[in-house]
Amino acid sequence: MSEIALAGVSKSFAIAHKAVHALAEVSLTLPKGGFYALIGPSGCGKSTLLRLIADILRPDAGSISIGGHPPAEARKRHEIGFVFQDASLLPWRSVLDNVRLPIEIAGRSVANPADPMQLIELVGLADFAHARPSQLSGGMQQRVSIARALALRPKVLLLDEPFGALDEITRQRMNLELLRIWQETGTTAVLVTHNISEAAFLADRVHVLAAHPGRIVAEIGVGLARPRTLALMRTNSFAQAQNALRDALFGEDGAAEEEAEIAAGQAPT
Amino acid sequence: MADGASLASRVPAARRAGGFDVARFARSAAPMVALALLFFLVWHLVVQAFAVPPYVMPSPIATLRTVATEWHGIAGAAAFTLRNAIAGLVVAFTIAILLAALFVTSDVATRAVLPLVIAIRTAPVLAIAPLLILMFGRGIGTSIAVVVIVSFFPTMVNAMRGFRASHRSALELMHVLGSSRLQIFRKVRLPFALPFIFTGLRSAATSAVLAAMLAEWLSGAPGLGTYILNAAAHSRANLLWAAVLVSMAMAMIMYSLSSQVERWLSDWRG
């Protein structure tokens, strides 16, 4: 449960000897315990932003802090959980051993790791604890990788389009599970997505990015009550939240540049 | 033997059952026995059809008889050569893994050491043999050195490729988890590399027997290579071909041994 803060963060890559500005002067603050979404077209640098927070990449300029410390420190203290686009499980390890991997790596430096078996139950795979990843469907593999990301009770949980490769039905189910898990653990969650309804359904606040150079163009609070259920998706307030995101993404007479706040809609009926 | 290996890797349950399964062994050995019979048949027919004189190439039956009657001498020489080949292969394997690990982790080391390694690999063994004999003596030392020089390279090249074959997201995952370099190597890079490493090792294993005999041709150590050389010098085709037959069997043993090691290590990995 750490606050994440970015101040003036820039990052460019050299692609074919040309500098491409993946991110320019990004500043944002994500208070602890919340659920945040980063949304934008491909190439807007949203995955880069997540990788900077996780210390997979280093910023060219600006500073990042997780709970007041640099990301490298948070990473070495095993405070970051990361869920990749592909489940990236180690194929020779069983489900249980994959979930146990972070605990093996941390050794005794993490005093109070989660019980891997409980995590596997949490993601609904108790019957598959000893299966190999190749024996699981894509959705099940991604659930294993979520369980693995939670093994060290991370203070921040970073998710990079975790359900992008899944079909719509599985994706909805996974989103519900993710919300339940997030609420049980109380971690600060940051989700990268290009799916408008997913962002509106999961997040407290959505940061909208634009490309060339990658930058944040809007911050939209989603005032929908929790716990959120599938019934919520049929309500007007959910439709309004989606519309606000759509306007920010595609521009509605330049309204995208302004900060929009959606009135906390009536509780889902 | 290749059949036996792939069968076992496809049926892990049979592997875990433990103990020696006679029926399974018979099933996996059957194709090999059939092939051996076919080989002897073709050999026999060639000798008959072209009326090959026995001082060039004896018939398979005569050769097998020689293997039986001269077993004591051949077995002693073969055991010497096989031991050197295996010892050399173990040393080569260790060096290959260490060098490959060094090269994939350090660009500086690659630039400094890799040319030297290639140079050693390229130098004709015939030319450096006197140096090797001076350094390692006429016994097992030179044999191991020659086997190492000949067989570490394919293992090393494959291992380097294997160490680079780890999935990027698996490496990023280990980074985010705050792993040490050693943990990344032990838990991700090495297991991902194993299939590549064993591709190299299997090809090295079969040439190791030949390399061990080559060493004997240069140093005169009392192995199967020297045995073949002596048989040729005395125009004793029976002995010569009996020894050749045994050396072929040895190469097969080496191949199946490396497959067996692969299976053990794959179990460890899993």
Size of interface A-B (CB pairs under 8 A): 50
Chain A closest CA to B266's CA: distance in Å? 9
The nearest alpha carbon in chain B to A91 belongs to B270
Q: What is the CA radius of gyration of chain B?
A: 22
In this structure, chain A runs to a length of 269
In a domain, B265, yes or no: yes
Strand partners, A70: none
Question: For chain A, how are helix, strand and coil distributed in percent, rounded to 5?
Answer: 40, 25, 40
Rounded distance, CA B183 to CA A104, Å?
9
In a domain, B38, yes or no: no
Whether the CB-CB separation of A46 and A85 falls below 8 Å is answered with: no
Three-state secondary structure readout of chain B: CHHHHHHHHHCHHHHHCCCCCHHHHHHHHHHHHHHHHHHHHHHHHHHHHCCCCCCCCCCHHHHHHHHHHCHHHHHHHHHHHHHHHHHHHHHHHHHHHHHHHHHHHCHHHHHHHHHHHHHHHHCCHHHHHHHHHHHHCCCHHHHHHHHHHHHHHHHHHHHHHHHCCCCHHHHHHHHHCCCCHHHHHHHHHHHHHHHHHHHHHHHHHHHHHHHHHHHHHHHCCCCHHHHHHHHHHCCCHHHHHHHHHHHHHHHHHHHHHHHHHHHHHHHHHC
Q: Report, as an integer, the average pLDDT of A240-267.
A: 63
Chain A closest CA to B86's CA: distance in Å? 29
Give residue B158's pLDDT band: very low, low, confident or very high (50, 70, 90): very high
B176 → closest Cβ in A54, A85, A92: A54
Structural domains counted in chain B: 1
B167 touches chain A (CB under 8 A): yes
B172 → closest Cβ in A56, A78, A106: A56
Q: What is the CATH classification number for the domain harbouring B143?
A: 1.10.3720.10
In a domain, B3, yes or no: no
The nearest alpha carbon in chain B to A109 belongs to B178
- pLDDT tens for each residue of B18-48: 556 778 777 777 888 888 899 999 999 999 9
- pLDDT tens for each residue of B180-230: 988 998 899 989 998 898 888 888 888 899 999 999 998 888 999 999 999
- pLDDT tens for each residue of A194-218: 999 999 999 999 999 998 889 999 9
Chain B closest CA to A51's CA: distance in Å? 9
Give residue B264's pLDDT band: very low, low, confident or very high (50, 70, 90): confident
Per the CB < 8 Å rule, is B176 touching A93?
no
Using an 8 Å CB-CB cutoff, list chain A residues near B167. 88
Domain limits for position B230: 57-269
In a domain, B34, yes or no: no
The nearest alpha carbon in chain A to B189 belongs to A90
- pLDDT tens for each residue of A120-167: 988 889 999 999 999 999 889 999 999 999 899 899 999 999 988 888
State the DSSP string of A20-72: EEEEEEEEEEE-TT-EEEEE--TTSSHHHHHHHHTTSS--SEEEEEETTB-HH
Rounded distance, CA B70 to CA A204, Å?
86
Per the CB < 8 Å rule, is B172 touching A104?
no
In a domain, B27, yes or no: no
In a domain, B100, yes or no: yes
The nearest alpha carbon in chain B to A149 belongs to B177
Q: Name which residue leads in pLDDT, A246 or B262.
A: A246
In a domain, B229, yes or no: yes
Q: What are phi and psi of B75, to 5 degrees?
A: -60, -40
Residues 116-155 of chain A with CB under 8 A from chain B are 152
Whether the CB-CB separation of B153 and B194 falls below 8 Å is answered with: no
Per the CB < 8 Å rule, is A88 touching B174?
no
Nearest-CA neighbor of B84 among B261, B197, B213?
B213
Chain B closest CA to A173's CA: distance in Å? 25
pTM of the model: 0.76
Interface confidence (ipTM) of the complex = 0.84
pLDDT of residue A197: 93
DSSP secondary structure letter of residue A268: P
In a domain, B210, yes or no: yes
Question: Measured on CA atoms in the order A146, A149, A154, A159, is the torsion positive or negative?
Answer: negative
Residues 93-112 of chain A with CB under 8 A from chain B are 93, 101-102, 104-106
B188 → closest Cβ in A56, A80, A90: A90
CA A219 to chain centre: 16
Strands A80-83 and A156-160: what pairing? parallel
- pLDDT tens for each residue of B99-112: 998 998 888 988 99
A105 → closest Cβ in B167, B183, B191: B183
Per the CB < 8 Å rule, is A86 touching B169?
yes
Question: Measured on CA atoms in the order A230, A232, A235, A238, is the torsion positive or negative?
Answer: negative
